[in-house]
């Protein structure tokens, strides 16, 4: 049996099980193309969780990494949340723990803690307000100016927000390994090869990379920008999985990765076989203790109140 035939059979079985389990399948834009193709919704992590919360599905299959499945449970505790590959984590989210944040809060008792959604439920529960890469500037701009801001865990996103808002921000020394390895030389090289292309950069990249961007945007923002732009060529500075959606939305345009190193190994752990098994067994499940969930939910709600 060919790989293509096997993939088609698995996709058919997943569709059958999805209907039987009254499930919804979510896939982040960094997931492999075949996973994106069997999903009901493809997009950014928090946006997917909000879509699932609005659905009448009883089961959420989150094709992403652990903190994303936690966010889905935080917003939909009455639903069964499955993460097909339970070991799919986020190294950046792991760069801060709740005990570490509590210690830092003791050192900075007056600080407002802003957490990126790329954090664990426990860290969200210790934070004042959450943000996404798309709304981080808006969230920080909404905060009182007489209090310092502690931004966790991504220093690159925190520095980008500081530059855009003029606010003094204390940044946790975390980073996304995939975005952080991209160098300014990579952009310059890609630009020399494709001089007419616009440069689209994710704000998790280093400041010197962001400085070379024609636009800085989240994954959903990049897709929206490319679709609305008159330009025909784009250099993409984020994880390669986004190319699938860019080419679907803009089949008449050309997209070039700034570097072949733009790949997140954890996002590639999900397979069709694992999605099928998860729907069959309703495992592995992701849950959050209720006290932690409520506090984390309030952190997310505060963000939604200002965005």
Q: Does the pLDDT of residue 2 top 90, yes or no?
A: no
User: What string of DSSP letters covers 212-243?
Assistant: T-SEE--HHHHHHHHHH-S-SEEEEES-TTHH
Asked whether residue 189 falls in the same domain as residue 161, the answer is no
Asked whether residue 30 falls in the same domain as residue 85, the answer is yes
Domain count, the chain: 3
Work out the pLDDT band at 46, boundaries 50, 70, 90: confident
Asked whether residue 45 falls in the same domain as residue 85, the answer is yes
Q: Return all residues near 130 (Cβ < 8 A) that are at least 6 apart.
A: 46, 114, 115, 116, 117, 119, 124, 139, 299, 300, 302, 303
Asked whether residue 15 falls in the same domain as residue 70, the answer is yes
Asked whether residue 10 falls in the same domain as residue 83, the answer is yes
Q: 24 vs 18, 47, 176, 271, 303, CA distance in Å?
A: 7, 14, 28, 16, 25
Work out the pLDDT band at 264, boundaries 50, 70, 90: very high
Asked whether residue 280 falls in the same domain as residue 242, the answer is no
Asked whether residue 139 falls in the same domain as residue 157, the answer is yes
Environment class of 233 (CB within 10 Å of its CB; exposed 0-12, middle 13-18, buried 19+): middle
Q: Does the pLDDT of residue 49 top 90, yes or no?
A: no
Asked whether residue 239 falls in the same domain as residue 297, the answer is no
In the 8-state DSSP scheme, what is residue 72?
Answer: H
214-236 mean pLDDT: 97
Asked whether residue 141 falls in the same domain as residue 163, the answer is yes
Q: Return all residues near 135 (Cβ < 8 A) that are at least 6 apart.
A: 303, 307
pLDDT at 188: 98
Asked whether residue 203 falls in the same domain as residue 253, the answer is yes
Q: What percent of the chain has pLDDT over 70?
A: 100
199-205 mean pLDDT: 98
- Domain with 60 in it: what CATH number? 3.40.50.10800
The pairing of strands 80-82 and 129-131 is unpaired
Distance CA 237, CA 239 (A): 7
Q: Does the pLDDT of residue 1 top 80, yes or no?
A: no
Q: Does the pLDDT of residue 25 top 80, yes or no?
A: yes
Q: Return all residues near 33 (Cβ < 8 A) that are at least 6 apart.
A: 241, 244
Cβ atoms of 170 and 151 within 8 Å: the answer is yes
Q: Does the pLDDT of residue 45 top 90, yes or no?
A: no
Q: What percent of the chain has pLDDT over 90?
A: 94
Asked whether residue 84 falls in the same domain as residue 99, the answer is no
Could you tell me the residue range of the domain that residue 216 belongs to? 182-260
Asked whether residue 78 falls in the same domain as residue 224, the answer is no
């Amino acid at each position: 049996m060919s790989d293509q035939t096997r993939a088609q059979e698995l996709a058919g079985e997943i569709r059958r099980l999805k209907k039987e389990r009254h499930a919804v399948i979510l896939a982040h834009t960094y997931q492999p193309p075949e996973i994106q193709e069997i999903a009901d919704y493809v997009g950014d992590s928090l946006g997917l969780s909000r879509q699932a919360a609005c659905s009448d599905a009883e089961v959420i299959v989150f094709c992403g990494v652990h903190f994303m499945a936690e966010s889905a449970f935080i917003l939909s505790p009455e639903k069964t949340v499955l993460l097909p590959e339970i070991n799919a984590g986020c190294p950046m989210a792991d760069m801060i723990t709740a005990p570490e944040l509590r210690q830092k809060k003791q050192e900075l008792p007056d600080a407002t803690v802003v957490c990126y959604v790329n954090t664990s439920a426990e860290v969200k529960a210790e934070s004042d307000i959450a943000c996404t890469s798309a709304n981080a500037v808006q969230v920080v701009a909404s905060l009182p100016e007489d209090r310092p801001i502690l931004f966790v865990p991504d220093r690159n996103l925190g520095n980008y927000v500081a530059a855009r808002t003029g606010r003094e921000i204390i940044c946790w020394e975390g980073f996304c390994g995939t975005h952080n390895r991209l160098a300014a030389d990579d952009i310059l090289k890609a630009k020399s090869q494709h001089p007419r292309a616009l440069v689209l950069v994710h704000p998790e990249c280093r400041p010197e990379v962001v400085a070379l961007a024609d636009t800085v945007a989240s994954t959903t923002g990049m897709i929206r920008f490319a679709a609305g732009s008159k330009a025909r060529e784009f250099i993409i500075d984020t994880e390669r999985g986004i190319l699938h959606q860019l080419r679907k939305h803009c089949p008449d345009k050309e997209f070039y990765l700034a570097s072949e190193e733009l790949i997140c190994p954890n996002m590639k752990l999900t397979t069709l076989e694992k999605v099928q098994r998860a729907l069959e067994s309703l495992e592995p499940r992701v849950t959050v203790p209720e006290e932690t969930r409520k506090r984390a939910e309030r952190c997310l709600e505060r963000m939604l109140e200002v965005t």
